[in-house]
Structure 1
Amino acid sequence: MNVSRLIPATAVAGAALLGLTACSASDAADHRNGGRLNVVASFYPMQFLAEQIGGKHVSVTTLTKPGVEPHDLELSPRQIGGLTDADYILYLKGIQPAVDDAIKLSGAKHTVDASTLTQLEDHGTETGADEHGHEHHGDEAGADPHIWLDPVKYAEVAEGVGKSLEKTDPDHAADYRKNTEALVTKLDGLNLAFRDGLKNTTTKTFITTHSAFGYLAERYGLTQEGIAGVDPEAEPSPARIKEIHTIAEKSGATTVFFETLASDRTAKTLAQDTGLKTAVLDPLEGITDQSKGADYIEVMQSNLAALQKALGAK
């Protein structure tokens, strides 16, 4: 279903920021990298936010290198040590257990958990658009962390990140505010493109090897059917494969989607058994040479085109 923001983004961000440890301008200056804030991002969606909002005032490094599956990330001692020296750490709790543990043990003071900047929901492990989905805060078990795949929620997070950077580095607050507004405008445009582009389709159901698209499905009135849950390389049970066969027949689904950072074997096997097509629907956990776009906006536009084709957009 097409839902509006659950609560105003500014209210969410403001409430979340009450829990942040403030860093004064003098503190930040003591730890600058060439006059810029030393920012550590956990993986690509957080890196993109930090770079877009921080602009010339930040030096961003990411813990997850391009091509590495974020869920399986193991940190090196050097990366763990670097967390202590960071001026600002942006991560998303619940995606990378190794990162969550390392940040907790590092004692780093200036950390922002993106999951606290919007409202999380429980989409389950195998189906997406739950009309009566239960809402959770970021630290609750069962909450779906894939918030960046919904442009509206991602915009809420962007607003919260912008406010936290303003607080961390008040000398450049005006620039952070301007950059945040520019990014939110792009995300609002992306939201409108998805809303209008998926309004009239032959089917509303899509099948994917990675159940990462629950928020996207709910936002635009679609139903996600995950083959094997949140692990993109998990083997589906025989019962689930049989169930997917039935769902595909009843819903008119045409395509089994897989992702660039995981094996396409399961998708191709299922597609062969059911006579369906295969295509890429990118969960945007990293950008590589195989990505259909150079950044978040471009890859999301490619995702929209793939969904329109698979769902029979009119």
Structure 2
Amino acid sequence: MNVRRLIPATAALGAVALGLTALTGCSGSDAADGSGGGELDVVASFYPMEFLAEEIGGTHVSVTTLTKPGVEPHDLELSPRQIGSLGDADYILYLKGIQPAVDDAIAQSGAKNTVDAAELTSLEAHGAEVDSPDHASSDEHEEHDGAGLDPHIWLDPVKYAEVAEGVGTSLAKADPAHAADYRANTDRLVEKLNTLNTAYETGLKSTTTRTFLTTHSAFGYLAERYGLTQEGIAGVDPEAEPSPARIKDLQHIAEENGATTVFFETLASDKTAKTLAKDTGLRTDVLDPLEGITDSSKGDDYLQVMESNLGALQKALGAK
């Protein structure tokens, strides 16, 4: 199966057009030295954007990320130096709705050459079942995820491939001298994401249960893609505190659906997950939302960690 075939032609073209609209005022003379003799200075907001920029840009880009390894990206606060770097960048790749501080800094920087990955695919609402005044006000929720839209698109290999296509097209526009290389690099990355998608489809096709519990409701797109049900302890905000009613609901859900594992992540506290697991007799394991790569990550890059996530899901769901 080819990931490209999973993307309706009109939707893909529309997404790319939106990305190119965002990349205003960028030409060969604006990018690097305009003749292909220098690297494009790229600023990425956090790891999933950094990975795309490096894989697609290759040797023609110099990528700086605003979010250092080990920093929880949702709560990132930018230094004055980082804010200043936005105005000097040749190209900025970010995902609106995941990091309010970054969104605000980009809007105030006046930077013209920006690409919002959220405009390169379609966003949906996930995690609404755990939203309540007990752990987040509606204003906080809107600030985080764009009025209820889930920004965690990179955890679905098909949606991530859509974004990769748009990034490749926009980089080619920003730096026409290396357009052929950007297109070739995009093709190679999309093929890798196609292989990953096939592995998930095959590996999760037959399981004992289709329900998994997680502290961070970041896996809505992944669950929808592969016919699973995500039950989040908290909402899309990993630091949100669940209500007692939600904890009680999860205990019933786990029992009724044969859930075996409560997943937590590497960049946020595992306290709630371990408490719930102890109360219900469930196991705990890591399901990495891939918001950053650290020494404790189960892999060196996006593809390796996604493969590790697949193995964790197969074990938890009783894959046959």
TM over 0.5: yes
Equivalent residues in 2 for 1:125-164, closer than 5 Å: 125-126=128-129, 141-164=147-170
Match of 1:55 among 51, 58, 69: 58
Find the counterpart in structure 1 of residue 305 from structure 2: 299
Q: Structure 1 pair 140/63, CA: closer, same or farther in 2 (3 Å)?
A: closer
Q: 1:76 to 1:33 in 2, by over 3 A?
A: farther
After superposition, where does 1:1-314 map in structure 2 within 5 Å? 4-5=6-7, 10-20=12-22, 21-30=24-33, 35-126=38-129, 141-314=147-320
* Alpha-carbon contact 1:125-1:211 (below 8 Å) kept: no
**Cα distance in 2 between the residues matched to 1:50 and 1:56:** 11
Query: How far apart, in 1, do the equivalents of 2:99 and 2:241 lie?
Result: 20
Cα root mean square deviation, aligned: 2.0
- Using the alignment, how far apart are the partners of 1:31 and 1:80 within structure 2? 25
- Taking the aligned partners of 1:117 and 1:263, their CA distance within structure 2 comes to 32
After TM superposition, give the deviation of residue 31 of structure 1 in Å.
8.3
CA distance in 1, matches of 2:37, 2:129: 47
Displacement of 1:231 in angstroms is: 1.9
Segments of 5+ residues of structure 1 without an aligned counterpart are 128-138
Give the corresponding residue for 1:134.
none
2-structure distance, mates of 1:171, 1:187? 26
Determine if contact 2:16/2:165 at 8 Å carries over to the other structure: no
Name which of structure 1's ranges 33-42 and 171-180 shifts more when overlaid on structure 2.
Answer: 33-42
Give the conservation status (yes or no) of the 8 Å contact 1:190–1:301.
yes
Structure 2 unmatched runs, 5+: 1-5, 131-144
Aligned residue type for 2:103: D
Q: Deviations 1:104-125 (Å, cap 9, x if unpaired)?
A: 0000010000000001111133
Structure-1 separation of matches of 2:36 and 2:283: 49
SS in 1 for 2:319: coil
| Inter-partner Cα distance in structure 2 for 1:34 and 1:234 | 47
Runs of 4+ in 1 over 6 A off after TM superposition: 31-34
Q: Deviations over 1:198-243 (max 9, x none)?
A: 0000000000000000000000000000001112222211100000
Q: Provide, for residues 274-307 of structure 1, a one-character-per-residue CA deviation record: whole Å limited to 9, x for no partner.
A: 0000000000000000000000000000000000
Q: Is the 8 A contact 2:165 2:186 kept in 1?
A: yes
Letter in 1 for 2:204: L
In the aligned structure 2, how far is the partner of 1:32 from the partner of 1:263? 48
Query: TM-score, normalized by length of structure 2?
Result: 0.90
1:11 offset after TM fit, Å?
1.5
Structure 1 letter corresponding to 2:160: Y
